A and B are shown apart, each in its own frame.
Chain A
């Protein structure tokens, strides 16, 4: 148990569906992240939120839409995805995203997404 909870753990969706991934952290952190993890590839940072404000959007296609209503919750809304979007989506949190070099990131167990 890392203090970061993601739901659902597994999701299969068609290319025309709309679905959402949910993340909640119980660590009192101020920064939250969405990462994409594909087989044998480095983790890809998608979005960063700091105190509910989005500070990073790494050229992510608009079919992925993040939402951060408060410092403890983060959503990733999915719409008209492509089969190549199938991957493990990891949520993470940290005390703050920068400044403290040793700032450790804590990950959730991820949501396995399959687009058919």
Chain B
């Protein structure tokens, strides 16, 4: 079967750095997405990786290793507003999005 694994919950301190990992086993690979979802709000697009390496976008970076079936989302200079759930999703060989259950990130002052 197809599977996306990410930690259920993480806690970090304001101003610090946190890395949220995502591992996947899917039938084929056509890209990996990260979404942010604040409580009671819509998931919003953060990043897309299809080639190996690091994509940087401001305080957020996303890394992909296709050979390892692994990605991480790196959040720097954490702010209280970064408290949210972070969803990892992979497009398989049929271009279907396979979703992880999300990682709830709690930021403490």
A binding-site residues for B, Cβ under 8 Å = 2, 4, 40-43, 45, 90, 97-99, 101-110
Q: Which of B89-107 contact A (CB under 8 A)?
A: 89, 91, 94-102
Contact partners of B101 in chain A: CB under 8 A = 40-42
Q: How far is the CB of A94 from chain B (nearest CB, A)?
A: 10
The answer to whether A99 touches B95 (Cβ under 8 A) is yes
| Closest A residue by C-beta to B30 | A101
Instruction: Evaluate contact between A98 and B45: CB separation under 8 angstroms.
Output: no
Known: A42-B4, A101-B30, A104-B45; 13 extra A-B contacts, CB below 8 A, are A4-B42, A42-B98, A42-B102, A43-B87, A43-B89, A43-B97, A99-B95, A102-B31, A103-B95, A104-B48, A105-B45, A109-B40, A109-B42
* Interface size of B as a range: 20 to 34
Taking CB atoms and an 8 Å cut-off, the chain B residues in 50-64 that contact chain A are: 50
- The 8 A CB mask of B48-87 against A (1 = contact, 0 = none) is 1010000000000000000000000000000000000001
Residues of B within 8 A of A101 (CB): 30-31, 50, 91, 95
Q: Which residues of B contact A (CB under 8 A)?
A: 4, 8, 30-31, 33, 35, 40-45, 48, 50, 87, 89, 91, 94-102
Docked Cα-Cα span, A101 to B48, in Å, equals 9
Contact B42 A2 (CB under 8 A): yes
* CA A108 to CA B7, docked complex, whole Å: 25
Q: How far is the CB of B69 from chain A (nearest CB, A)?
A: 16
A-B pairs, top 7 by smallest CB distance, nearest first, are A98-B95, A42-B99, A107-B42, A43-B99, A101-B30, A101-B31, A109-B42
